[in-house]
Amino acid sequence: MAATPLVDQFARRISYLRLSVIDRCDLRCSYCMPERMTFLPKAEVLSLEELHKLALGFIARGITKLRLTGGEPLVRRDMIELVRALGRKLGDGLEELTLTTNGTQLAGLAGDLFEAGVRRINVSLDTRDRETFARLTRRDMLPQVLEGIEAARAAGLKVKLNTVALKGVNEAEIPDLMHWAHDKGMELTLIEVMPLGEVEEDRFDHYLPLSTVRESLEQRFTLAPSGHRTGGPARYFDVEQTGGRLGLITPLTNNFCDGCNRIRVTATGQLFACLGGREQVDLRAALRSDQPEANLAAAIDEAMRIKPLRHSFAIDRPGAEPALPRHMSMTGG
């Protein structure tokens, strides 16, 4: 693949790839997917060798940050082998290799991740209340997640918690969750629920604007805007009372698309130029063609041409259909 940097039609430099390795997950978070989720046939999912080849191609085109996602990436068999292979590119084009996980498998894999070169991970955790966790995820696995977080910290991994703010579910718990995270030296990032895929509940009922959360927190805490950046969409604040850092990801109330530096590739090799758009190119077809390098280069160039300026997410009325039919687990977190 030609080593031409990735720049979209709006002159945004694309340096961050979120690569999904699997659409399957061992939790069933109610805002993310239905209980009886239909997952992809395994034959449609890229092999580890294909994922590795794709990643190397993107690194050659200037991707410096690579995040492995799912579904739940750590439920994929031999996932650590892929992490080890990609870790060998650190310092050779790749600046950071990380992943987002629900934490259920971390206890047994945290040490392997660190040895492979991972230094920072995101763990999705919406509550520390076991009953709420079981109701929200439809699985009673909070003890495994908390054990995994401790194992990750013990292994030397820097942990950032991602929490979806949900009205009437974990709204009241957010201050305590922030205190707990900061006491352990972890950052906390709050995320607005995203309208992707059909689920049993109406997302309008639980949509909690982070502007409202911030106003509530500022009645108890001093939040000072921080210049800290990780390459993602979060805006950060230093919390005076805890000494920690709080991130806010606001796809609905404060659009952050102007500075977008990201693309997503699904476990089936579909490149989505925007999380909230339908624009996509088929990298799997290119990868399995008779001229994979040339066709991959052409497909990626096409993605740069079709990447939109911004998404159009909205949760503004009860009963509205999701912005897109595909679920987050299919797109890649």
Binding-site positions for GTP read 18, 67, 100, 160, 262-264
* CA–CA dist 55, 16 (Å, integer): 11
Residue ranges of the binding site: 18, 25, 29, 31-32, 67, 71, 100, 124, 160, 194, 257, 260, 262-264, 274
* CA–CA dist 29, 167 (Å, integer): 15
Residue ranges of the binding site for [4Fe-4S] cluster: 25, 29, 32, 257, 260, 274
Question: What's the distance, Cα to Cα, between the start and end of the chain in Å?
Answer: 26
* CA–CA dist 237, 108 (Å, integer): 33
* CA–CA dist 304, 10 (Å, integer): 9
Strand order in the sheet with 120-124: 223-225, 235-239, 244-249, 187-192, 158-165, 120-124, 96-101, 65-69, 16-20, 262-265, 270-272, 280-282
In 3D space, the residue among 185, 186, 205 whose CA is nearest the CA of residue 195 turns out to be 205
Residue ranges of the binding site for S-adenosyl-L-methionine: 31, 71, 124, 194
* CA–CA dist 110, 57 (Å, integer): 27
* CA–CA dist 209, 253 (Å, integer): 6
